[in-house]
């Protein structure tokens, strides 16, 4: 599964999106930012039910900034949300607000914090420009499996220290693009706390390495949702079968499906955003988290 577009896609998207795509992206972002689910109350009413802040979390490598949002009252299951390759930005704050509206305490992390505070780019398309590539490539290279495991422990520990988080229930974690692999590593880092993992068009899940994320499934106690992009499946058709077989051998519940949409379809500022398939994946996420 691919964690970024092909070279040809990058060249095409670096030129910018056309007016139709731009309008669709704006409408999608507004839809997610404005409501917790379709048909719910307007944005002002929904926001009044939530509390949100930018937080700083100590890690072995410094302080990570993150966006934390949760219902304004009560205690709720915690969720560690790993953004895609373009990092923490407004699109993922909108996703987090929507999930918080469903009754979760959501921490959207800046996995590039070693290079500074987020955002590094404003939209997914920005990262695909030459300037965006130049800025993010060194930060991407600085992420290692060991650092992800260490960060995951710090992020889960932060959630467990918050009054809004229900420590009697498991933590969920979800990741997009490269964040899908980070979500799996989070479950392996904190097997006693993480009860559910969701990967949306995840990249780097099945590698020919001893520490490949798929090999960590047996070290977890989580249930899994792997929502696969159709073009990622075309590039690596065996990956879904490896994930399915590995989960079965580890006796871990896993839902693995190829969606009829391309890489990035769940992210509201992505040129590939597909509202219908994103909503379908969202419903499966809520079903997964219901078991926490």
CA separation for the pair 134, 115 (Å, rounded): 13
Residue 46: per-residue pLDDT? 60
> At 31, is the pLDDT very low, low, confident or very high (cuts 50, 70, 90)?
very low
Give the domain range for residue 209: 7-289
Residue 43 within any structural domain of the chain: yes
Per residue in 148-203, pLDDT (tens digit) is: 999 999 999 999 999 999 999 999 999 999 999 999 999 999 999 999 999 999 99
Per residue in 237-250, pLDDT (tens digit) is: 999 999 999 999 99
pTM for this prediction: 0.86
Residue 84 within any structural domain of the chain: yes
Percent above pLDDT 90 for the chain: 83
Residue 45: per-residue pLDDT? 58
Q: How many C-beta atoms lie closer than 10 Å to residue 106's C-beta?
A: 30
pLDDT at 267 over 90: yes
Residue 28: per-residue pLDDT? 44
Per residue in 112-136, pLDDT (tens digit) is: 999 999 999 999 999 989 999 999 9
CA separation for the pair 159, 134 (Å, rounded): 33
pLDDT at 40 over 80: no
CATH of the domain at 161: 3.40.50.1820
Residue 199 within any structural domain of the chain: yes
Residue 32: per-residue pLDDT? 42
Q: How far is CA 150 from CA 7, 147, 179, 188, in A?
A: 32, 5, 15, 11
Residue 112 within any structural domain of the chain: yes
Bridge partner list, 165: 76
Residue 198 within any structural domain of the chain: yes
Residue 211 within any structural domain of the chain: yes
When divided into structural domains, the chain yields a total of: 1
Residue 2 within any structural domain of the chain: no
């Amino acid at each position: 599964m691919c964690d970024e577009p092909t070279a040809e896609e990058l060249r095409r998207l670096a030129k910018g999106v056309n007016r139709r795509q731009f309008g669709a992206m704006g409408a999608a972002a507004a839809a997610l930012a404005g409501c917790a689910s379709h048909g719910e109350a307007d944005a002002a009413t929904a926001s009044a039910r939530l509390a949100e802040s930018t937080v700083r979390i100590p890690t072995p490598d410094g302080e990570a900034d993150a966006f934390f949002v949760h219902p304004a009252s009560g205690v709720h299951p915690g969720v560690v949300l790993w953004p895609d390759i373009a990092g923490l930005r407004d699109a993922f704050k909108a996703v987090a607000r929507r999930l918080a509206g469903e009754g979760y305490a959501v921490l959207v992390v800046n996995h590039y914090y070693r290079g500074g505070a987020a955002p590094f780019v404003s939209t997914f398309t920005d990262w695909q420009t030459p300037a965006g590539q130049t800025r993010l490539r060194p930060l991407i290279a600085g992420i290692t499996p060991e650092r992800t495991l260490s960060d995951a422990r710090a992020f889960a520990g932060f959630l467990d220290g918050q009054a809004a988080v229900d420590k009697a229930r498991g933590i969920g974690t979800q990741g997009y693009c490269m964040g899908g692999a980070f979500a799996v590593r989070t479950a392996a880092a904190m097997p006693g706390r993480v009860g559910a993992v969701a990967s949306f068009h995840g990249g780097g899940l099945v590698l020919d390495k001893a520490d490949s994320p798929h090999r960590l499934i047996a070290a977890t106690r989580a249930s899994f949702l792997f929502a696969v992009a159709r073009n990622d499946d075309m590039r690596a058709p065996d990956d879904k079968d490896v994930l399915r077989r590995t989960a079965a051998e580890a006796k871990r519940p896993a839902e693995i499906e190829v969606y009829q949409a391309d890489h990035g379809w769940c992210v509201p500022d992505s040129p590939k955003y597909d509202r219908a398939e994103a909503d379908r994946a969202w419903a499966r996420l809520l079903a997964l988290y219901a078991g926490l």
